[in-house]
Structure 1
């Protein structure tokens, strides 16, 4: 098929690679404009733009797909279909209806659960045991279109948003490529979403990332893993020159009791409002991620230490 691909982050880049490798004619790739990235905050292209350019595909990075000129340019492409993966803009009806067969989206949840911007993180934050990737026909409603295909994934007890993202990118790329074959052949079956069970995956805010040790261990464990690696759930630890901000990147809920925030042993078991959390991987401000044993060699937090 002759398609346009619209996406921005790493998971979308994996899908673009699969779509381009499947033999479709990618007429154009749309991505969000270059933005400050990395430690130096230099202006850099998104993963999708970088990949498209390396493949020799034409790229557009409009600030808004609602611009009438952009809508007309999109209509003029003469597309069979549009493929959208985490593009980052709400597409108007005129864009969705421009391709001959319509626009199709890969979404990282089992709809109607976790419609919206952050389905991977929200599934872990909520303690879900299962998630998945789905291809759906796009409509004007937020992730409300009928489903064409599904791949289910179990969420492991030690899953982080980062590891789940990588697994979903691989599964989603394969699912999308296979579903496009069915769409082109006219044998794709569309199933309306259920009316019950809809939840919304609000965008993750760094303002809510601080750990509150008075909360139950199970909740804190989900928060740590769901916000890892970005933005990273954080707490303050005592340091030689005052409080040190530390991100917790991996954890495990365990039995234990003490005052919330109290370190209970020499291997970072921390008491919470109910149970305890074992901190397994951490990142001190301004430094790289470390396993707990290496972290403690640089910043000892012995039993009895109070974390804030």
Structure 2
């Protein structure tokens, strides 16, 4: 099948590799443009771009496509059977959605209609969902509103993290898109009930609010690590929390209760397991406290 692949982050790479290995003719790979990264701030291709170069596939990196008629014409000229989209990062306009003979199929990292939008994995963990999954969806102009072709669930364990769920869903998405192309299942409209939205995650979302229940803060740390990362303030210093777990204890929210260290929350307490100061390496709590004590009674912000 002649197709275009449109994706940018690590999540999309297994699907690209699976489509290539299955023998599909990939006429073009679309990815976000290279951006400055690293200490030297050199323009760096995104993961899909790098994978496409390894596979010898042509790559296009338009900065925008929504109102670019020349880009619409170039896309139509590819004469595609289908386009596969996985976390591309740009909104496709109607001329591009309708150009391939079978339209554009999206690999979405949730069980639609739950968690439409940009941050479905993090949102599922933050909400305490028992499962998430992959939906292969026929794209239309609405935000993740198109009819569903395939849908498969993945459990979210009690200590699951975003990287673990991300990798499981990326692999599942690669398997399901191959099935969708081979089987051409009939589209099923999304139900009108159960719709939720997953907003784009921002850096400030990582701030720990000690007035919240410990269970909610635990989910936040598991959902937002490694990016944007969770943090609190001790005076003027920002300290990142990379791992924690709910613990017994109570007190004024933000108060250090013991040397574990355990921090009182709005409900219950949170034991910090792995921490990092700015410009320092991440360490387990015991090693961290040898160089940066947090005495009982300290109030964290």
Q: Which moved more, 1:279-288 or 1:78-87?
A: 279-288
**Whole-angstrom distance in 2 between the partners of 1:162 and 1:290:** 19
Residue 230 of structure 2 is aligned to residue 233 of structure 1 = yes
Tell me how far apart the structure 1 counterparts of residues 156 and 36 of structure 2 sit (CA, whole Å). 32
Q: Indicate which of 277, 285, 289 corresponds to 2:278.
A: 285
2:6 match: 6
Distance 2:207 2:172 in 1: 32
Gaps of 5+ in 1: none
1:9-88 aligned at under 5 Å gives the runs 9-66=9-66, 67-88=68-89
Q: Please say if 1:222 is aligned against 2:219.
A: yes
Deviation at 1:49, TM superposition (A): 0.4
- Residue 8 of structure 1 and its aligned partner are, at CA, apart by 0.3
Equivalent position of 1:202 in the other structure:
199
What CA distance in whole angstroms lies between the structure 2 residues aligned with 1:45 and 1:127? 34
1:107 corresponds in structure 2 to 108
RMSD: 1.5
Task: Indicate the larger mover: 218-227 or 297-306.
Answer: 297-306
Is the 8 Å Cα contact of residues 158 and 250 (structure 1) preserved in structure 2? Answer: no
Distance 1:264 1:56 in 2: 57
Give the C-alpha shift of residue 79 in structure 1. Answer: 0.5
Deviation at 1:40, TM superposition (A): 4.3
Residue number among 244, 249, 253 corresponding to 2:246 in the alignment: 253
> C-alpha separation between the residues in 2 aligned to 1:167 and 1:266?
36
Mean alpha-carbon deviation: is it higher for 276-285 or for 139-148?
276-285
Secondary structure of the corresponding residue to residue 162 of structure 1 = helix
Structure 2 SS opposite 1:163:
helix
Q: C-alpha displacement at 1:39, in angstroms?
A: 4.7
Q: Alpha-carbon deviation of 1:3?
A: 0.4
Contact 1:3 1:80 in 2 (8 A): yes
CA distances 1:58-78 after superposition (whole Å, capped 9, x unpaired): 000001122100000000001
Q: Distance in 2 between matches of 1:173 and 1:265?
A: 46
Q: Partner of 1:304 in structure 2?
A: 297
Classify 1:294/1:21 alpha carbon distance in 2 versus 1 (closer, same or farther; 3 Å): farther
Between stretches 60-69 and 166-175, larger displacement belongs to: 166-175
Q: Is 1:266–2:262 an aligned residue pair?
A: no
Bigger shift: residues 275-284 or 117-126 = 275-284
Question: Unaligned stretches of 5+ in structure 2?
Answer: none
Q: CA deviation at 1:247?
A: 1.3
Task: Calculate the TM-score normalised by the size of structure 1.
Answer: 0.93
Q: Structure 1: how far apart are the matches of 2:168 and 2:39?
A: 26
> Partner of 2:178: helix, strand, or coil?
helix
Give the match's secondary structure for 2:257: coil
| SS of match in other structure, 1:264 | strand
Distance 1:51 1:146, change over 3 A: same
**Which aligned runs of 4 or more in structure 1 are off by greater than 6 angstroms?**
none
